[in-house]
Amino acid sequence: MALVGLIVNPAAGRDIRRLTGGASVSDNYAKRRSAESVLEGLTIVDDPPGALVMPDKAGIGQDAVETAPEGIDAGVLDVPVSGERTDTRRAAERFRDAVDVVVVLGGDGTNRDVAATIGPVPVAAVSTGTNNVVPTPIDGTTAGAAAALVAAGEVRAEEVTVSHGTVAATVESSAGTERLRGLATLGVVDRSFVGTRAVLDASEFIGGVVSRAHPSEIGLSGVAGALVAHEPDEAGGVGVRLGPAESTPRRVRAMTVPGGVDVVGVEAWNPLDDEEELRFDVEDAVLSVDGERHLALQDAHVAVRPVSEGPRILRFDAVFDAVRGRRCFDVGE
């Protein structure tokens, strides 16, 4: 039987940007309704796939299984629950060899954790987080229906997915060597401590590398997108060095945080080939990953590079375009 995995991150969409900016709110009730809608969407095909749902501390996944629609064989994945991001990675690792498609309700951080262990399984990324460059703001029913069409073989996965690039950083300091991986962006921020993870002030960015760039996106990929377009499945990435807007040779207007538009100073920018490094030497800074401050840096050498190897992201429009005009939705006379 075909099988769809479901990952719900209760912590997604709950950071300070909900209070300080215009980011939309996605509380646990909204996530529960989205999860239920995903399972309902599976019934779009005659022989619906089963569903395997990651458990979570808030009980969102467990409740979705209990209220699954008639005809859906739904169960809870047997994994321990800690309430930490390791839950997502552990579930994705289990799903890698068990499901045909995984639906993820979360933001960029959740999808980055999924990408770390999901392997080649198609990811239907639904936006319920704060920094939402990768996941799509789409109804859960539509996401579940798209996942069902792929899992049931009505649509070939290779025709409706893109291999999303990533960004990798190597940090050398007196503390040793550390390596981090981002999904859409890795940035260097002019701060001396991590503190609140959300990057709220665009003027703090020193620069970074993005795996995708478009002016419609929020954060560093939107800043890069004001300079050049770079598709998520295009090899390489874009590197930028930023500075005070009043003294840089170029300035761009970009959506830097949810609910915020800023003028950003650009010292330099350039397309990067796959694995081509952009280096930063910093005395006191923070490395941000997909829009969240992550690692404090002291007297560090940071090498950031785009890496083409990444998750297979499902394109929802492509799924429904592929079945348009066909009779796979017919239910007889």
Question: Does residue 180 or residue 193 have the better pLDDT?
Answer: 180
DSSP 78-110: -----SSTHHHHHHHHHHHTT-SEEEEEE-HHH
For the cut 80, the answer to whether the pLDDT of residue 200 exceeds it is: no
Pick from 182, 166, 176, 193: nearest CA to 295: 193
Residues 290 and 108: beta-carbon distance below 8 Å? yes
Separation of CA 5 from chain center: 17
Average pLDDT over the chain, rounded to whole?
Answer: 91
Average pLDDT value for residue range 270-279: 98
pLDDT at site 257 = 83
For the cut 80, the answer to whether the pLDDT of residue 21 exceeds it is: no
Structural tokens at position 124 = 């239907």
Question: Does residue 21 or residue 154 have the better pLDDT?
Answer: 154
Structural tokens at position 238 = 């874009």
pLDDT at site 11 = 75
Read off the pLDDT of residues 86-129 as tens digits, 9 standing for 90 and up. 999 999 999 999 999 999 999 999 999 999 999 999 999 999 86
**Mode of pairing for the β-strands spanning 185-189 and 205-210:** antiparallel
pLDDT at site 195 = 46
Backbone angles phi, psi at 6, to 5 degrees: -135, 125
Separation of CA 152 from chain center: 25
Q: Which domains does the chain have, with CATH numbers?
A: 3-163+311-323 (3.40.50), 166-307 (2.60.200)
Would you place residue 183 in the very low, low, confident or very high pLDDT band (cuts 50, 70, 90)? very high
For the cut 60, the answer to whether the pLDDT of residue 25 exceeds it is: no
For the cut 90, the answer to whether the pLDDT of residue 47 exceeds it is: yes
For the cut 80, the answer to whether the pLDDT of residue 272 exceeds it is: yes
